[in-house]
Structure 1
Amino acid sequence: MDTYRRVFVESWTAPLLSRPNPLRRSGFDMDLLVERIEREAQDVVSLTLRAPAGDRLPQWSPGSHLDLILPSGRQRQYSLCGDPGDRTGYRIAVRRIAAGGGGSIEVHERVRAGDHVRVRGPRNAFSLVDAPSYLFIAAGIGITPILPMVTAAGARGRLVYLGRTRASMPFLNELPADAEIRPDDEYGVPDVAALMARAEPGAAVYVCGPPPVLAAAQECMFTLNPTGSLHAERFSAAPVVGGRDFDLTLARTGKTLRVGADETALAAIRRELPDAVYSCQQGFCGTCKTRVLSGAVDHRDRLLPDSQRHDQMLTCVSRAVGDSLVLDL
Structure 2
Amino acid sequence: MTLFTSGLVVDRRETAADGVLVLTLRHPLGEPLPGWEPGAHVDVVLGPDLERQYSLCGDPADRSVWRIAVLREPEGRGGSARLHDRVGVGDKVRVRGPRNHFRLEPAARYRFVAGGIGITPILPMLAAAEESGAEWTLLYGGRSRRSMAFAGELERYGDRVTIAPEDESGLLDLGPVLDDVSDGTLVYCCGPGPLLDAVEERCPPGVLRVERFRPKEREGSDADTEFEVELARSGRTVTVAPDVSVLDAVRAAGVEVLYSCTEGTCGTCETDVVEGTPDHRDSVLTDEERAAGETMLICVSRCRGKRLVLDL
Pairwise CA distance, 1:118: 1.4
- Residue 314 (1) aligns with residue 298 (2): yes
- Matched residue, 1:151: 127
Structure 1 residues 125, 308: closer, same or farther in 2, change over 3 A? closer
Structure 1 residues 169, 85: closer, same or farther in 2, change over 3 A? same
* Percentage of identical aligned residues: 44
| Conserved? CA contact 1:134–1:204, under 8 Å | yes
- Code of the aligned partner of 1:235: F
- Matched residue, 2:21: 45
| Conserved? CA contact 1:131–1:204, under 8 Å | yes
Pairwise CA distance, 1:204: 1.1
Instruction: Give the gaps of 5 or more residues in structure 2.
Output: 227-240, 247-258, 272-277, 306-312
CA distance in 1, matches of 2:260, 2:178: 34
Q: For 1:138, which of 114, 117, 140 is the aligned residue?
A: 114
Q: TM-score, normalised by structure 1?
A: 0.69
Instruction: Give the alignment's Cα RMSD to 1 decimal.
Output: 3.4
- Matched residue, 2:250: none
CA distance in 2, matches of 1:308, 1:88: 33
Pairwise CA distance, 1:167: 0.6
Instruction: Give the gaps of 5 or more residues in structure 1.
Output: 1-26, 248-256, 267-276, 290-296, 323-329
CA distance in 1, matches of 2:209, 2:280: 24
Pairwise CA distance, 1:199: 3.7
| Conserved? CA contact 1:278–1:288, under 8 Å | no
- Structure scoring higher RCO (CA < 8 A, sep ≥ 6) equals 1
| Conserved? CA contact 1:139–1:208, under 8 Å | yes
Structure 1 residues 243, 79: closer, same or farther in 2, change over 3 A? same
| Conserved? CA contact 1:36–1:47, under 8 Å | yes
- Code of the aligned partner of 2:84: H
- Code of the aligned partner of 1:134: Y
- Matched residue, 2:144: 165
- Residue 187 (1) aligns with residue 166 (2): no
- Matched residue, 1:35: 11
Q: List per-residue Cα deviations over 1:255-308 (Å, max 9, x = no partner).
A: xx996xxxx969xxxxxxxxxx8426116534699xxxxxxx9564569xx999
Matches within 5 A, 1:1-329: 27-30=1-4, 31-71=7-47, 73-154=49-130, 156-175=135-154, 176-178=157-159, 179-222=161-204, 229-241=207-219, 242=221, 244=223, 278-279=260-261, 281-282=263-264, 284-286=266-268, 300=281, 314-315=298-299, 317-318=300-301
- Matched residue, 2:237: none
- Code of the aligned partner of 1:279: C
- Code of the aligned partner of 2:15: R
CA distance in 2, matches of 1:101, 1:288: 23
Q: List per-residue Cα deviations over 1:297-321 (Å, max 9, x = no partner).
A: 9564569xx9999xxx834x23588
Determine helix, strand or coil for the equivalent of 1:177: helix
CA distance in 1, matches of 2:185, 2:295: 38
Q: TM-score, normalised by structure 2?
A: 0.72
